[in-house]
């Protein structure tokens, strides 16, 4: 979509350039060229300790949870990995 999304005062991005499916995630060439991205997709599975989310259709992308694990688990009342399998995430 060409809809403009404002992230901060004066910083707008087209939705089609901001939202990227995990399967299409690519590293930026340099820090100077890095632009904000919001990634979306479906959760394939988690590890037993609930420290990582693994997106579907991706073999090289993982989302670490450990830093925010307790907040996320309590906010969504999650007690075991299978509760998030197949869920959508942004």
Give kind and range of the element (H or E) at residue 73.
Answer: helix 69-75
Per residue in 24-63, pLDDT (tens digit) is 887 767 666 667 888 888 988 888 888 888 888 887 888 8
User: Is 55 buried (19+), middle (13-18) or exposed (0-12) by CB count in 10 A?
Assistant: buried
What is the rounded average pLDDT for all residues in the chain? 83
pLDDT score recorded for residue 64: 84
The pTM of the full predicted model, rounded to 2 decimals, is 0.69
Spatial CA neighbour of 69 closest among 86, 87, 84: 84
The pLDDT of residue 15: 87
The per-residue pLDDT for 51 is 86
For position 39, what pLDDT does the model report?
A: 86
């Amino acid at each position: 979509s060409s809809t403009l999304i404002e992230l901060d005062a004066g910083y707008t991005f087209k939705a089609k350039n901001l939202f990227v499916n995990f399967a299409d995630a690519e590293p930026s060439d340099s820090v100077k060229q890095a632009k904000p991205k919001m990634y979306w997709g479906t959760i394939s599975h988690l590890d037993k300790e609930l420290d990582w989310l693994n997106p579907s259709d991706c073999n090289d992308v993982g989302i670490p949870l450990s830093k925010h694990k307790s907040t996320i688990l309590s906010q969504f009342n999650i007690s075991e990995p299978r509760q998030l399998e197949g869920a959508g995430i942004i």
